[in-house]
Amino acid sequence: MSDTSGSEAFREDVLAGLSADPPTIPCKYLYDAKGSDLFERICETPEYYVTRADLALHETHMDEIASMIGPNAHVIELGSGAGIKTRVLLASLDSPRAYTPIEISAAALAQSTRDLEAAFPAIEIRPVQADYTRPIASEALALDPPARMRVVYFPGSTISNFEHEDAVAFLDRLRRIAAPSGAVLIGVDLVKPLERLLAAYDDAGGITAAFNRNLLERMRREIDAEIDAEAFVHEARYYDSLERIEMHLVARYPTTIVIDGRSFEFAAGDSIHTESSHKYSVASFKSLAEQAGLRSEKVWFDPDGLFSMHWLIS
Ligand code: AVJ
C-alpha cells in the first residue's frame, strides 16, 4: 500500500536529494507555515530589495500596464493573490471580467478570495485550488462568454527558482494558458553586482539563515531525521557562470544525518543545496521566453533599475 501523504513525499524527496551528488533538497520544502512566515520577514529586511522593487514597479507603471491590458480582461494569477501587488493591479484595470487565483493551499486561497471579494465587489473572483506547476484543467479557467483577453500574471520573480530548462517548459505552459490572444505578465529579478545579491540572500539580521535552517527543523519534525542542526550554517553563493544565487546548508565539522536507518555523511565544508535564485538581464530573459514561443513586447523597471516585468505574447 502506498502512503501518499505530504510527509511521505517529503521523506522520499529528502532521501533522494541527500543521495544525489551534490546533495540537493527541492526548494519548495522551505515554504512550510514557519518558512512562509520567515519568507515574509525576509521581504521586510533592508537587504532584500526584491519585494519593494517589484511593488515600486507596479506603482510606477500600473497605468500603462492597465492600458495594455484594456477592458473586459480575465486575470489569472499563479499564486494566491494575497499580496498588495494584486490589489494595485486589480484597482487599476478598466472593467475587468474576472480574476482567478491558482493556489495549492486551500486556506491561503480561501482567505485571499474573501479579502479580494470584499475589496473588489465588482470583480468576479474565481479561485482554483491547484498546484500551478502542474497542468491546469482548461474548464477551470473557461469563462462564458469568454473575456476579451487573458492575462497570466506571475509577479515576484518566482520564475527565479526554476532551472532554465524547467523555466522554458513552465513559460510554454503559461503561453498555452494565455492563448490565443492573451499575454503573460511576469516579474523577473535582474542581474546586479555581487555584493548586493549576496547581502539580499544573507541579511545581517539572520532571517534568511533562519529560513534556510528551518528546513533542518522540518526534517526533524516531520520525518524524524536525526540531525545535529548546530553542525550546519547558512551560506549564500553567487555563481557567475550560471547567473544565480544558491543557498546552501554547509557543515562546519564532520557530521551525519540519519533517516530511516540510512546515514548521510558530511565532511567539514560539504553542503546541502536548498534553493537557487536565477537572475536575468533583459536580453537573457527575452531569449528564455523565445525558447517557449513567447516574445517580450514591453519591459518595465522599478525606479532604481533593480527589477523588471515583461509583457510576453505569442
Ligand atoms: C520567492 C524565489 C522570489 O529567489 O528571491 C528569497 C526566494 N529565498 N530569499 C528569491 C528567496 C531566499 C525568492 N523567490
**What tens digit of pLDDT does each residue of 178-210 get?**
998 899 999 999 999 999 999 999 999 999 999
Q: What is the pLDDT of residue 6?
A: 77
Q: Which atom of ligand 1 is nearest to the CA of 156?
A: 3
**What tens digit of pLDDT does each residue of 221-233 get?**
999 999 999 999 9
- Closest C-alpha residue for ligand 1 atom 14: 158
308 CB less than 6 Å from ligand 1?
no
Q: How many A from CA of 193 to the centre of ligand 1?
A: 17
Mutate to test the pocket of ligand 1, among 25, 32, 39 (most ligand atoms within 8 A of CB): 39
Q: Which atom of ligand 1 is nearest to the CA of 30?
A: 8
Q: How many A from CA of 74 to the centre of ligand 1?
A: 27
Q: Of all residues in the chain, what percent are helix, strand and coil, respectively (each to 5)?
A: 40, 25, 30
As a whole number of angstroms, the distance between CA 237 and CA 128 comes to 36
Mutate to test the pocket of ligand 1, among 47, 160, 162 (most ligand atoms within 8 A of CB): 160
Mutate to test the pocket of ligand 1, among 161, 214, 247 (most ligand atoms within 8 A of CB): 161
Phi, psi of 234 (to 5 degrees): -75, 140
Q: What is the pTM of this model?
A: 0.95
Q: What is the pLDDT of residue 23?
A: 98
Q: How many A from CA of 71 to the centre of ligand 1?
A: 33
Q: For the chain, 314 residues long, give each residue's pLDDT as a single digit of tens.
A: 344 467 899 999 999 999 999 999 999 999 999 999 999 999 999 999 999 999 999 999 999 999 999 999 999 999 988 889 999 999 999 999 999 999 988 999 999 999 999 999 999 999 999 999 999 999 999 999 999 999 999 999 999 999 999 999 999 999 999 998 899 999 999 999 999 999 999 999 999 999 999 999 999 999 999 999 999 999 999 999 999 999 999 999 999 999 999 999 999 999 999 999 999 999 999 999 999 999 999 999 999 999 999 999 99
Question: Do 57 and 309 form a contact (C-beta atoms < 8 A)?
Answer: yes
Q: What is the pLDDT of residue 5?
A: 62
Half-sphere exposure of 95 (CA within 13 A, CB side): 4
As a whole number of angstroms, the distance between CA 314 and CA 292 comes to 9
Q: How many A from CA of 51 to the centre of ligand 1?
A: 9
Half-sphere exposure of 180 (CA within 13 A, CB side): 1
